[in-house]
Structure 1
Amino acid sequence: MYAGQVCTAGSRVSVHSSIQDEFTAAVLAGTQGMKIGSGFDPAAQLGPLVSAEQLDRVGSYVDIGKNEGATLVSGGSRVDGP
């Protein structure tokens, strides 16, 4: 849908430790049901990235987060399929 071009920078989110688990669960629940598909599919909520370069860049962000101590709760690998 957005081809990796969204006008937000959600790479960092500050969350108080008292609601961290609840927040993480809510974000996970919201993303687990997302329909991934073609940018031409009106039902798709997340489409392909614009280029192989952008795919590599996004993958590097996941790696950086893990190297900095982040815990991956979902995904973390390339989606296979149409």
Structure 2
Amino acid sequence: MGMCLPCLGGPGNDLSTSPDRVSNLETRRRELAEAAEKRQKETTYRGVKNPQAVERNKKNKEMEKQEMRPSLPGGGLKWQVG
């Protein structure tokens, strides 16, 4: 049995973090994050032929809701006694 840890006298080159190894890890993390975003988008728009149209419709509905809200502080309702 060989010694693989540097504290036991074995080769310790595998445990060091060289700059190119760190950049490889950063690259790998970025690629994994991009792949996760891509999967998320695919599952969000599964079965939708035109995702841009869906987004446009959502924005239009939100704009309509904002326009329907009254701008008066009391909610636009007035009390009438009579």
TM range (shorter): under 0.3
Structure-2-length-normalised TM-score: 0.27
Structure-1-length-normalised TM-score: 0.27
Larger-gyration structure (1/2):
2
Of structures 1 and 2, the one scoring higher in RCO (CA 8 A, sep 6+) is 1
Q: Which has the higher helix share?
A: 2
